[in-house]
Amino acid sequence: MPDIQTRKIKVAIIGAGNCAKSLLEGIAHYTANPDDTTGLMHPVLGGYRPSDITFVAAFDVDSRKVGRPLHEAVQAEPNHTEKIADPLPYDVIVQKGPVHDSINRQMRDFAIIESNLPPVNVAEILKKSGAEIVVNYLPTGSDEAVYAYAEAALEAGCSFINCMPTPIATNLEWRERFEARGRALMGNDVKSQLGATVFNKDLLELFRRRGVKITESTQVNRGGNADHENLHFRPEAKKRTKKAALFSVVGSEDAVPSATMIYTPANFDHKQAEIVVKGKIFGHAPVSVSAVLEDPDSPNSGGVIVDAIRIVRIVCEQGRAHDAAKACAFLMKDPPHQLPESEALATLHEAVAGPVNDNIWNRIGTLGMWRAAAIAASLVAVAVTGTFHIVKSELANSRDQMARQNAGITRFVADNHVGFVACREDLGEGSSATRVYEAKYLDGKLHFSDGNGPLAIAGRPEITEEAIRGMGTGQCRGYLRVPDFKTLRAI
C-alpha cells in the first residue's frame, strides 16, 4: 500500500486530455507563484497547497499520447484548451491502458487514434509508481473501463476520484470496498468551479428560498472539445447527473428542469451555457432570469480537482476515508448525497476538520459563554484555508452535562495559519482566569500574542503540546489540534 506520510501527494491520471492538461498547467502556475491565490477555492487545505500535488503515473489509449512524457502528452492533439502555464516536467511516461468501452465507434480513428501497443497491467504500474490517488478522466459512457480502473486502484491500494458520470461513488458496496482498505472513493462527475450546473442550481435555490414557484427551468450547453463531441453520441449519463443535481433543489410543485448539450466544433474548449429560470411571485406575478455563462471548460474543473485530491489525502492520512463522501456534494454533480450548495460547502469543511471525538478534541478548560463567543467572532468558522485546529469549550463541569448542552461544543478551523490557544492561568490566592492567545505561523516559527502584542515566547517549526503548555504565566490547559494530532507542521 502506498506511503501517504510523505509531503507530496502522488497522483495517477487516467486520460491525458484537456482536463488533465489544465490540471497540470494550473499546478505548475501555483507552484511557481505560491502567493497567488486567485482562482483557488481553498489555497490551503489541511496544510496542503496545490503545489504539494505531483504525478507519478498516467494512462491513455491515443497513439499521440501513449509513450510520451506526461507533460508533453497533455500538449498533443486533440487537446485545445486555453493555456495556463508550461507544465512542470515529470519523469512519467503515458502508458497504454485497457480500452474496454472508452472509445465510441463514431470517434474511433477520427477524434481518437488508438495506439497499437498492448495495454499494460494497470495495478502493477500503480504499485510501482507509489501512487496513492487515481484521478479518472475517461470519456462519459466508458462504464466498463471505469469499473476496470477502479478494480486496479483497489488492488494497488489507491483511492479513486471519479470525475465522470459512471455511478460508482453512489454505490455503497463500492465505497465500502475502498474504505475497508483505508482508501477513499469520491465522485461522481466533477462540477465546474463556476459552471452551468452550479450556477443553475444556486439560481433555483434562490427562487425556492424566496418563495417563488418555478414554472420553467432550461439549460442549453454548447462546447466543442473531445468531451463535448463524445457527449454528442453518448449524452445519457451526463444528462442524468446534471438533472440529478438540479432536481435536488426543486419542489414537487415546480417545473422539471431540463439540460441539453449541443456539440459545436468551432467552440473547441470554450463552453457557453444559456440558462433560463421563470417563476411566479406574490399574486402570481411573473418573474424570469436569463443568463449566459461562458468559460473555458477544462480549467473550470481543475479548481475543483485540486481540492478533491487534497481532501482525499487528508481523510486517508487520518484514518477516516469514509469522510470523503461528505465532500462530494460540493465537488461532484452526482454525489452519494445531494445537498444545497451552502450546506454542501459546510459538509466539505466537516470532512476536512474531522468528527467530534473526546479522544482527539483538545480540552481547554472551562470557558464562559462570552469567551466562547469572543473566540468565534475572531475566526471564520470552519474555514479550511490553513493548518487547522478545533477548540472544545466546556460550559459544564461534567461529561453528562456536556452531553446535554450542544452549545458546549464549538468548532473552529484556523484561517491563514492562525489558531487560538486557551490557557487557565493561576493568579494566586486560589483564583484563576482563562486567557485566549493567538498563535500565528510566520517565517518558519510559531508566534504567540495576547492581542496586545507578541508574547515573549516564539515557537519552532514543530511545536508540541508540552511546549505550548509552558506559555504565559500559568498552566496552559489547551493546545492546537493539527493534522497529525501532535505537532504543528511547517506549511
C-alpha to C-alpha distance for 463 and 85, rounded to whole angstroms: 37
Structural domains of the chain ordered from first start = 9-192+299-353 (3.40.50.720), 196-297 (3.30.360.10), 362-469 (no CATH)
DSSP H or E run through 125: helix 122-129
Confidence of residue 322 (pLDDT cuts 50, 70, 90): very high
Phi and psi torsions of 357, nearest 5°? -150, 115
In the chain, pLDDT over 90 holds for what percent of residues? 53
The pLDDT score that the predictor gives to residue 240 is 76
Alpha-carbon distances, residue 102 vs 14, 164, 206 (angstroms): 11, 12, 38
Q: Which residue, 55, 95, 49, is CA-closest to 71?
A: 55
The pLDDT score that the predictor gives to residue 116 is 93
Answer yes or no: are the C-beta atoms of 9 and 313 closer than 8 Å. yes
Confidence of residue 109 (pLDDT cuts 50, 70, 90): low
The predicted-structure confidence for 200-234, as pLDDT tens digits, reads as follows: 999 999 999 999 999 999 999 888 666 656 665 66
**407, exposed or middle or buried, with CB in 10 Å at 0-12, 13-18, 19+?**
exposed
The predicted-structure confidence for 330-381, as pLDDT tens digits, reads as follows: 999 999 998 888 889 989 998 998 764 333 223 223 333 333 333 333 332 2
The grid cell for 30 is: 501555483
pTM over 0.85: no
C-alpha to C-alpha distance for 228 and 78, rounded to whole angstroms: 12
Look at residue 432 and tell me whether its pLDDT is greater than 80. Answer: no
Q: Which residue, 64, 82, 2, 94, is CA-closest to 300?
A: 82
C-alpha to C-alpha distance for 14 and 162, rounded to whole angstroms: 10
- More confident of the two residues 22 and 444: 22
Residue 256 DSSP symbol = P
C-alpha to C-alpha distance for 104 and 142, rounded to whole angstroms: 9
Cβ neighbors of 225 (< 8 A, separation 6 or more) are: 17, 18, 78, 80, 81, 267, 268, 269, 297, 298
Q: Which residue, 79, 59, 71, is CA-closest to 15?
A: 59
C-alpha to C-alpha distance for 313 and 355, rounded to whole angstroms: 16
